[in-house]
Structure 1
Amino acid sequence: MIACQLSLYPLGTPAYTPVIKEAMAVLEQCGVEIEVNAMGTIIRGEEEAVWRAARQLFQVAAGRGEAVLVMTVSNRCGCKVANKKAPARGS
């Protein structure tokens, strides 16, 4: 499982909301857990599903014009993994 925080910035258009809504609709079809917050959207799921979702989100936005997608990906932070211990410091 991995988690990915995404922030999408459609460029060159004052009407950015429809681009973001369309991109979010794509995420909802990708089979990942979605959490929207003030700074962006966090998606969680199996690694391949998360990468596919991020790629599709960007493709939708880029298809509507110029866009920037900022991503932070982690296999630790934000992941809900049962029975997984943190690695020992210095390991």
Structure 2
Amino acid sequence: MISAEVSLYPQKTSRASEIIRDSLDAVADLDLDTKVGSISTQLTGTEEEIWSGLKILFDRAQKESEVSMVVTLSNSGS
């Protein structure tokens, strides 16, 4: 298991919160433990699930807006 702390920052849009919610909804079908915080989301799962989830998050967000995504990965089991 690994974890990723992810922050999405949609740019040049007034719909940032909606874009973030839509992006998180797009990974709901994956078997990830998801903890949504005020400025970041913690994802925990297998390596394959995490990498797939990160790609889905970014792909979904970039369809709606320019976006920056900041990710911290850990295998420490926290």
Fold shared, TM-score > 0.5 on shorter chain: yes
Q: CA deviation at 1:70?
A: 0.3
Partners of 2:46 and 2:7 lie apart in 1 by 20
Which runs of 5 or more structure 2 residues have no equivalent in the other structure?
Answer: none
1:50 corresponds to which residue? Answer: 50
Q: Percent identity?
A: 28
Q: CA deviation at 1:29?
A: 1.4
Which runs of 5 or more structure 1 residues have no equivalent in the other structure?
Answer: 81-91
TM-score, structure 2 normalization:
0.93
Choose between structure 1 and 2: higher strand proportion: 2
Partners of 1:47 and 1:5 lie apart in 2 by 14
Choose between structure 1 and 2: higher helix proportion: 2
Q: CA deviation at 1:30?
A: 1.6
Q: Supply the RMSD in Å over aligned alpha carbons.
A: 1.0
Aligned length: 78
Q: Secondary structure at the match of 1:28?
A: coil
Query: Which 4+ residue blocks in structure 1 deviate beyond 2 angstroms?
Result: none
Q: CA deviation at 1:39?
A: 2.5
TM-score, structure 1 normalization:
0.80
Structure showing greater Rg: 1
